[in-house]
Chain A
Amino acid sequence: MPVLEITDLTKHYGDLLAVDHVSFAIEEGETYGLLGPNGAGKTTTISMVVGVLGRDDGLVLIDGLRHDVTTVKTKALIGYVPQELALYPDLTARENLRFFGRLYGLTGRPAKMRIAEALEIVDLHERADEAVAKYSGGMTRRLNIAIGLLNRPRLLVLDEPTAGVDPHSRNSILESVQRLAAEGVATLYTTHYMEEAERLCDRVGIVDAGRMLAEGTRRELVSLVDEHDRVVLRAEEGAARAVPVLKALPGVLEAGGEGGDLELIVEEARSLLPAILGALGEAGVAVRSVEVREPDLESVFLHVTGKALRD
């Protein structure tokens, strides 16, 4: 049974159809990316998923239970990290965590343990008793996430958690999400950073203008685009003599070369790479560098929406 199952989720703002019959599901331990430009309806979708916003139509199930703005039981299963820094800057990190923990029924010793655990995950335990107002942007982002982890959620909902974060903090946040997923937490992750979606998400839904335009694993999405992986090799002069050998490899669609440069069009570059390098070795060609070029989600996004992600 999926941890989150959404069917025909719909929301209007006056005449504007902000979310148009969106459906998807997330399994335990799965990270699902909602990819789309600003105004695509990601945050509205998330607001309905976490029960902040009422829906006009559709169904949301959390662990098989009906969920809406008033269902307290299902809300207790969700950890929510809004895009904005939803914290009290005049309180310390520990005070923030203690307050939000109380809202989830955490008091006494269990609360202390969970707070320590959440602080450890986001690496803020050493500065937990400082006012949040004194934190850097990255630290505040990490605390924002820690609050979402306090209740050990079945479903973690992260709305653009790395917006405006330095590379070090971003990496730390992404590692935390990967660790949680490995522990079985189902994660709904919205971003407009393509590389984050590619690194984190098992499946991605591409949304624009409130509609789910495409959904699937990265490979499934890439297959929508009429493009294949490319392997570019730099080798010694005369490497072009190995082109016939390479063409004969299963999965290689096309191969060509000139001087020391070789370029192959293949079905799955990463899985074919050992065979390619092995064939070149047998042909006596010494390889100096290898570059794999895969069609990315940016190309998919362009393909299904007709515009670049950051337009």
Chain B
Amino acid sequence: MLPVTAILLKDLRQHSRNSTLLLFGVLLPLGLAFLFNLMLGGDGSRFSARYAVADLDRGPDATAFVGQVLEPLERRGTIHLQRVSSVQDGARLVERKEADAVFVIPAGFSSARSSSAAELEVIGGAHAATAVQVAREMGQAFAMERHSIRLAVLAASRGLPADEERDGRLAQRAQEVAAPLSLVSDTSASRRQLDTTTYHAAGMAFFFLFYVAMFGVAAIFEERRSRVLARLLAAPISRAAILGGKALSGILVCLVSMAVVVAASTWLMGARWGPPLGVAVLVIAGVLAVTGIAAAVAGFSNTSEQAANRMSVVAMVLGVFGGSLFPIPQLGVLEVASHLTPHRWFMTGLADLAAGLSPGALLTPVLVLLGIAAVTGGLALTRVGRLTHA
């Protein structure tokens, strides 16, 4: 058996008996992803809402709103729509949490000449803030469209005597050219985003990967402290075999941790990571980057405690700036710093996969991650003498 294999197998045996590693590598990322998901919303599927509509008007505008806005969304499965005959019925549904919001189209809505005369009303439930917000936006957008049509009619009939029939025809024509309202999907060409569940699962898994990598580094320090490293160095094997075995076991443990989180979050939480091959490539590149960073931190530390403390700081800072803990756009002007973190490139790669882009789109994130691995791994190699000094 090759010495590197012997060291790898021994390390894996030790890691398999380490309950703290299980905690940091699997339980914490999964638990926190589940918790964040629960608190911040998202069930792993696309947006969906349960709406009710009370059409008290039954005029052309009301019919247009129901027929051209709500029903197409219902047919696409984005919303579930119930028709109610009164405001009270709608409010009752919301109160019983059987609907997230109810659209109330008041009588006279279609014939109103000013926007203040009759307003489309949304009654929302406190239990579904996002669905209510979307309903308000939809109502607002429809009102804006009606306003545009009315402006168009006014402009076309300017200076002419009043004629309802003519105005009706003009409105009909304006409506035909107006863009139909549709709910924007959760991805767009310019900015791909992961669904909430996958985002939290990936963010937490990558965040805790730093702590998992730290276990491998801590093992080297512990071996140095206990003089086991001296015993290894005295054995008839090369230093490269010792370092190779250690590095391989560290990488393998990180890969197993990620694989378990990917599988468990998919199975238990409905996360959608994307095509397995693409995810695997991204995970391997990400693990190499994190292992490189951990090795570099260890190389510039004198003790296990010092390395662990520094690694915690590095993990937290990179996690915050890299979008593991909250979405990158919330960083504002500091968003540019996220480009220096492996987290950002890992999440970007995943988002590209989720958006169904070609495998070529993965090239940039993977190359950047491998670049980080090469730079930090190179730094660690310059300090390897210190690390293996018995």
The reply to whether B6 and A82 contact each other, CB–CB distance below 8 Å, is: no
Chain A contacts for B236, CB-based, 8 A: 72-73, 75-76, 103-105
- Whether A28 sits at the interface, judged by CB under 8 Å, is no
The reply to whether A103 and B14 contact each other, CB–CB distance below 8 Å, is: no
The reply to whether B238 and A72 contact each other, CB–CB distance below 8 Å, is: yes
The reply to whether A95 and B13 contact each other, CB–CB distance below 8 Å, is: yes
Chain A contacts for B13, CB-based, 8 A: 91, 95
Complex formed: what's the CA distance from A84 to B231 in Å? 10
Known contacts A52-B390, A88-B10; is-contact A103 B226 (Cβ 8 Å): no
- Whether A182 sits at the interface, judged by CB under 8 Å, is no
Known contacts A88-B14, A91-B14, A103-B3; is-contact A75 B235 (Cβ 8 Å): yes
Known contacts A76-B236, A99-B6, A99-B10; is-contact A86 B1 (Cβ 8 Å): no
| Secondary structure class of chain A's binding surface, majority of residues | loop
Complex formed: what's the CA distance from A36 to B19 in Å? 44
| Cβ < 8 Å to B, chain A residues 52-102 | 52-53, 69-70, 72-73, 75-76, 78, 80, 82-88, 90-91, 95, 99-100, 102
- Whether B227 sits at the interface, judged by CB under 8 Å, is yes
The reply to whether A102 and B6 contact each other, CB–CB distance below 8 Å, is: yes
The reply to whether B227 and A102 contact each other, CB–CB distance below 8 Å, is: no
Chain A contacts for B10, CB-based, 8 A: 88, 91, 95, 99
From A72, A73, A83, contact of B227 by CB (8 A): A83
The 7 closest A-B pairs by CB, nearest first: A102-B6, A84-B227, A103-B235, A76-B236, A75-B236, A82-B227, A80-B234
Q: Count of A-B contacts with CB under 8 A?
A: 69
- Whether A181 sits at the interface, judged by CB under 8 Å, is no
From A75, A91, A102, A105, contact of B234 by CB (8 A): A75
| Cβ < 8 Å to A, chain B residues 204-262 | 226-228, 230-238
Cβ-closest chain B residue relative to A89: B226
Chain B contacts for A83, CB-based, 8 A: 227
Chain A contacts for B3, CB-based, 8 A: 102-103
Distance in Å: Cβ of B369 to nearest Cβ of chain A: 33
Distance in Å: Cβ of B212 to nearest Cβ of chain A: 18
Distance in Å: Cβ of B116 to nearest Cβ of chain A: 76
The reply to whether A80 and B17 contact each other, CB–CB distance below 8 Å, is: no
The reply to whether A50 and B6 contact each other, CB–CB distance below 8 Å, is: no
17 A-B contacts (beta carbon < 8 Å): A47-B390, A50-B230, A50-B234, A72-B237, A75-B235, A75-B236, A85-B226, A85-B227, A86-B227, A87-B228, A90-B14, A90-B17, A91-B10, A91-B13, A99-B6, A102-B6, A103-B3
Complex formed: what's the CA distance from A105 to B5 in Å? 12
Q: What is the size category of the interface that chain B forms with chain A?
A: 20 to 34
Number of interface residues of A (CB under 8 A): 31
Complex formed: what's the CA distance from A91 to B10 in Å? 9
The reply to whether B390 and A88 contact each other, CB–CB distance below 8 Å, is: no
Distance in Å: Cβ of A85 to nearest Cβ of chain B: 7
Chain A contacts for B18, CB-based, 8 A: 90
Chain A contacts for B237, CB-based, 8 A: 72, 103
From A50, A72, A95, A107, contact of B1 by CB (8 A): A107
The reply to whether A86 and B231 contact each other, CB–CB distance below 8 Å, is: yes
- Whether A51 sits at the interface, judged by CB under 8 Å, is yes
Cβ-closest chain A residue relative to B390: A52
Cβ-closest chain A residue relative to B5: A102
Chain A contacts for B232, CB-based, 8 A: 103
| Cβ < 8 Å to B, chain A residues 251-273 | none
- Whether A147 sits at the interface, judged by CB under 8 Å, is yes
Complex formed: what's the CA distance from A72 to B236 in Å? 4
Complex formed: what's the CA distance from A73 to B238 in Å? 11
Complex formed: what's the CA distance from A88 to B223 in Å? 9
Complex formed: what's the CA distance from A127 to B219 in Å? 26
Chain A contacts for B227, CB-based, 8 A: 82-86
Complex formed: what's the CA distance from A302 to B228 in Å? 35
Chain A contacts for B1, CB-based, 8 A: 102, 107
Distance in Å: Cβ of A140 to nearest Cβ of chain B: 11
Complex formed: what's the CA distance from A147 to B232 in Å? 11
Distance in Å: Cβ of B282 to nearest Cβ of chain A: 33
Chain B contacts for A100, CB-based, 8 A: 231, 235
